[in-house]
């Protein structure tokens, strides 16, 4: 499934396993945090940082830079990611 992952289809795919960085956030302490997405809930992204720490990031207050499996990087407003992952994957945009 990840082989079909493109910038256009990102919101309809599973995000777990992708590299992510917070580029903007209402919580200034979160800016610059990066790592690999380990889990996702309706309102949060759980990422494992390079130092092994786990961080829980609220989707609605952040803008993410996500690196696709082909190396392409794209920015995504976290508000577009809000919702249960299984419901977001079913949506048509």
Tens-digit pLDDT profile for residues 1-45: 445 777 777 888 889 999 999 999 999 999 999 999 999 999 999
Q: Does residue 87 lie within any of the structural domains?
A: no
Q: Does residue 25 lie within any of the structural domains?
A: yes
Question: What residues contact 28, with CB distance under 8 A and at least 6 apart?
Answer: none
The parent domain of residue 8 ranges over: 2-81
DSSP secondary structure letter of residue 4: G
pLDDT averaged over every residue in the chain: 88
Question: What pLDDT, on a 0 to 100 scale, did the predictor assign at position 93?
Answer: 53
33: domain CATH number is: 2.30.30.210
Cα–chain-centroid distance for residue 91? Answer: 17
How many Cβ atoms are within 10 Å of 62's Cβ, its own excluded?
A: 24
CA angle at residue 49 from 47 to 51, to 5 degrees? 155
- Total domains, the chain: 1
Contact 58, 43 (CB under 8 A): yes
Q: Can you give the pTM of this predicted structure?
A: 0.83
Please report which confidence band the pLDDT of residue 85 belongs to, taking 50, 70 and 90 as the band edges. confident
């Amino acid at each position: 499934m990840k082989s079909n992952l493109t910038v256009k289809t990102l919101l309809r795919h599973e995000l777990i396993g992708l590299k992510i960085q917070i580029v903007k956030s209402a919580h200034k302490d979160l800016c610059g945090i990066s790592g690999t997405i380990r889990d996702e809930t309706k309102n949060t992204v759980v990422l494992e940082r390079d130092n092994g720490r786990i961080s829980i990031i609220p989707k609605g207050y952040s803008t993410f830079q996500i690196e696709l499996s082909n190396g392409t990087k794209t920015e995504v407003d976290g508000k577009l990611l809000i919702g249960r992952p299984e419901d977001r994957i079913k949506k048509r945009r």
